[in-house]
Homo-oligomer: A and B are copies of this chain.
């Protein structure tokens, strides 16, 4: 956008005269935004003011939705990737008549307990399809929504599943690296039902976009196999045509919408306009320029009616859909409903139990990444909603099972995604699949590269999405690839994150139990931390009960007087068991506690926790990760203290064969035994 155009800005009177009804509707969004930001004395005014025209046309003419039934599975999804412009979304939801989004909620923008948080929070209100705010997440998440839609369209037919995912992105979203992973993946997969509306306003917080970026975004999207359309973002007729054209493409489409941030205000086209416009005079002047009258938060009744008619526009189509849905046959309908509810397959518990029994008997020695594959081989055939994938480590993560098929433009029934070397994009896409509904995604990479996926993994937790992260190569046990690939702090990172279940199973039985919990989770993501190296089966006695569900349990009881408790996870449980052998031989009664999931153990009642970790015996924890967090378990319940020590890593790893490294870093049975003796 040339400086010249920016300086002049559009002629509001001409815009109003050209499309008076549209202007009034869009201006309702603008004034609600100004009023809410002023009341909160914080927020972002400029983006909703700039994108109101595009959003109005989208909701009025294109978005398939029914405000009275935001849970209609075949609705279009709307993703506000530029989440700071949350008032755009809240205004739309209020105006079109989503019941929860009352004017009082708008008045309480950004206040405690309101559903109108500073950035859109999934779960606060229907119509908020995804939590956004961390830039780039929305567009990356939308790719997963579009994948889920394609897979379900293939499975259930076009009469049941046939909707679009619309995304509004800003320059910030497009500068974040994750946007590249997202658009490259979407372009490659030819997700033609994904339409991105770029708010091309040329402004960021630090000033003009041009101070930090010279990217030709249109060329960039084309290079990623997208269709690109340009449009004046304040011309409703042109916008309508562009959106119509976008829906017809064979590829995903990016619509570059030239807009003026903070349209019509004295802060138009400036970084000031990006933020909170709270000056009463500025607000009054701007409303006057809009030709808008009336008190703050006041929407004329006739205008509200017009908007509510837009909100009801899809009711007929929705009713027709319900008729069609009723006719698809009980089996398919049941499967559709079960997967949208997020229930696991009814066969799951018995299937897992059978595997556990088999493994307790055959006692294989295998890496837990291989154990995970063994579980997936029996899960995927009975859980039609799983969508697997890996960030280019399929053979290492053991995530692809025989029956899945690969998801490609030619095979929309495939349930395995080759994500490419895009851990972050994968994690965000998985969030999108879970948000879309009817899908239960899992995806793999090396545990160390959770670093790349962190922002999206945090959103899995914050949104409460039951995504499963299959994170293999979980310690120095991966060997020669060296410290860049060896997790040290990553268990602590995942455990520190609220609402995240971190599973580090010690053998195939625990892996099966962990998978059962991941697949039955409804509001918590799961991280499976799995070994590259082989491990023995330690759960050699079949239990009907899922012991991992308790988080920690007694794997081996002390013989004689209980003098020590060894706590361990994953590959170090074997070490703890060997240390127990050493100590018992010396007459030191030693219990081994396997702790595959701290979070679930914390949720047990105090009685159980005390039973597993009674006061008295010394405690030694062993884990091939950092100490961070372990002191919690080396002390007793609040106020009661027990002697404790930790055997693990206190620095980065090194490049050498795994067994050499365990020796080198002193993570051995003898070291655990010695640490125990030192405490006694």
Contacts and interface: CB of A to CB of B under 8 A. Distances in A.
B661 A112 contact: yes
B112 A175 contact: no
A438 interface: no
A458 B485 CA distance: 11
Interface string A458-484: 110110000000000000000111111
Contact of A492 (B171, B224, B485, B628): B628
A408 to B, nearest CB: 8
Contacts of A214: 184, 187-188, 224-225
Contact of A495 (B42, B176, B628): B628
Contact of A628 (B119, B462, B496, B638): B496
B626 A628 contact: no
Contacts of A76: none
A666 to B, nearest CB: 13
A172 B482 contact: no
A175 B422 contact: yes
A177 B175 contact: no
B118 A480 contact: yes
A44 to B, nearest CB: 10
A395 B451 CA distance: 28
Contacts of A180: 177, 179-180
Nearest to A461: B652
Interface string A418-430: 1111101100000
Interface string A645-669: 1000011101111001100100000
A390 interface: yes
A181 interface: yes
B484 A493 contact: no
Nearest to A220: B223
B492 A118 contact: no
A612 B109 CA distance: 45
A656 B176 contact: no
Interface string A36-50: 000010110000000
Contacts of A18: none
Interface string A484-498: 110011001101111
Contact of A496 (B40, B218, B225, B493): B493
A455 B462 contact: no
Given A118-B655, A176-B177, A628-B629, A213 B420 contact: yes
B392 A205 contact: yes
A203 to B, nearest CB: 11
- Most chain B beta-carbon contacts within 10 A, residue among A134, A396, A449, A451: A451
A635 B225 CA distance: 58
B212 A219 contact: no
A117 interface: yes
A655 to B, nearest CB: 4
Interface in A201-258: 204-207, 211-220, 222-225
Contacts of A175: 181, 184, 392, 420-422
A342 to B, nearest CB: 21
Interface string A174-192: 0111111100110110000
Contacts of A418: 206-207, 211-212
A451 B449 contact: no
B452 A451 contact: no
Contacts of A207: 418
A214 B496 CA distance: 37
Contacts of A396: 205
Interface in A424-460: 424-425, 448-449, 451-452, 454-455, 458-459
A52 B488 CA distance: 34
Identical subunits present: 2
A83 B177 CA distance: 20
A483 B223 contact: no
A212 B425 CA distance: 12
A639 interface: yes
A392 B628 contact: no
A581 interface: no
A394 interface: yes
A111 interface: yes
Nearest to A458: B451
A131 interface: yes
Contacts of A652: 461-462, 498-499
B651 A212 contact: no
Contacts of A176: 177, 181, 421-422, 452
Nearest to A111: B656
A254 B179 CA distance: 21
Nearest to A490: B496
A498 B651 contact: yes
A104 interface: no
A632 interface: yes
A624 interface: no
A61 interface: no
A135 interface: yes
B482 A133 contact: yes
A177 to B, nearest CB: 3
Contact of A177 (B117, B181, B631): B181
A646 B252 CA distance: 50
Interface in A569-584: none
Nearest to A626: B496
A110 interface: yes
20 contacts: A40-B480, A111-B660, A118-B485, A119-B482, A131-B484, A172-B421, A177-B178, A177-B422, A184-B215, A188-B215, A206-B420, A212-B421, A222-B223, A449-B455, A451-B455, A451-B458, A489-B493, A499-B652, A629-B629, A631-B631
Given A134-B485, A177-B180, 9 more contacts: A110-B480, A111-B660, A117-B482, A172-B421, A184-B214, A205-B393, A211-B406, A496-B628, A498-B652
Interface of A: 40, 42-43, 83, 110-114, 117-119, 121, 131-135, 171-172, 175-181, 184-185, 187-188, 204-207, 211-220, 222-225, 390, 392-396, 406, 418-422, 424-425, 448-449, 451-452, 454-455, 458-459, 461-462, 479-485, 488-489, 492-493, 495-499, 626-629, 631-632, 634-635, 638-639, 641-643, 645, 650-652, 654-657, 660-661, 664, 679
Closest 5 CB pairs of A and B: A177-B177, A641-B641, A212-B420, A180-B180, A117-B655
